[in-house]
Amino acid sequence: MSQGNVSSKRGPGYLTGIITIVMGFLVLAITFGLIPSDPSKINAPGWVLAIFGGAFVIAGLWAILLRAIRQNTAEANWINFLFALLVMLAISVICLWVGVGPGQRLFVQRDSLTGMRTSLITDPTLGRIFFGFFGVLMTAVTIAFAIIQGRKLL
């Protein structure tokens, strides 16, 4: 295979992108009140939910563009870089908010067979440490990615 063309079987398909976009729009619709929900059941501020839903929309658009743009051109490389950077930033921000953001966090363990909540509530401090560490790690990886890939593209 030449490097100029990417195989049409590589990467996610259109259906994957559409489903991912729909999931993101559902979260955004709940965030902006288009789908009624009980605010007491939502344990995150609206901006965190908007970033979460937006990340799904971006990932879905990215999946569709990967299928539509099959050539390895400079423009396609920049588009891939920007989409990847946006998704990585979203993951970093969400993990950092869970780990070090204000407010109380509740980490609930689920039964692996039924998916139902068990009576065991995990340690909030341990959950914050885990998400905080992963958020810092993801931020470092995002910065490294931006520098390394940005230099390659320039």
> Which residues, including other chains, have CB under 8 Å from residue 153's CB and lie 6 or more apart?
74, 77, 78, 81
User: What does the alpha-carbon distance between residue 29 and residue 35 come to, in Å, rounded to a whole number?
Assistant: 6
Provide the pLDDT for residue 75. 84
b/e code 120-151 from CB counts within 10 Å (16+ = b):
eeeeeeebbebbbebbeebbeebeeeeeebee
Burial of 13 (0-12, 13-18, 19+ CB in 10 A): middle
pTM: 0.79
- For 6-15, 101-110, 132-141, 144-153, which range has the lowest pLDDT when averaged over its residues? 6-15
Provide the pLDDT for residue 121. 59
Place of tokens 């051109």: 73
Residue 7: is its pLDDT beyond 50? Answer: no
Other CB atoms within a 10 A radius of the CB of residue 152 amount to 9
For the stretch 113-137, pLDDT in tens is 665 656 555 778 888 999 999 999 9
For the stretch 42-64, pLDDT in tens is 888 999 999 999 999 999 999 89
User: What does the alpha-carbon distance between residue 5 and residue 3 come to, in Å, rounded to a whole number?
Assistant: 6
Using DSSP, state whether 111 is helix, strand or coil.
Answer: coil
Provide the pLDDT for residue 11. 63
| More confident call, 8 vs 103 | 103
Provide the pLDDT for residue 81. 93
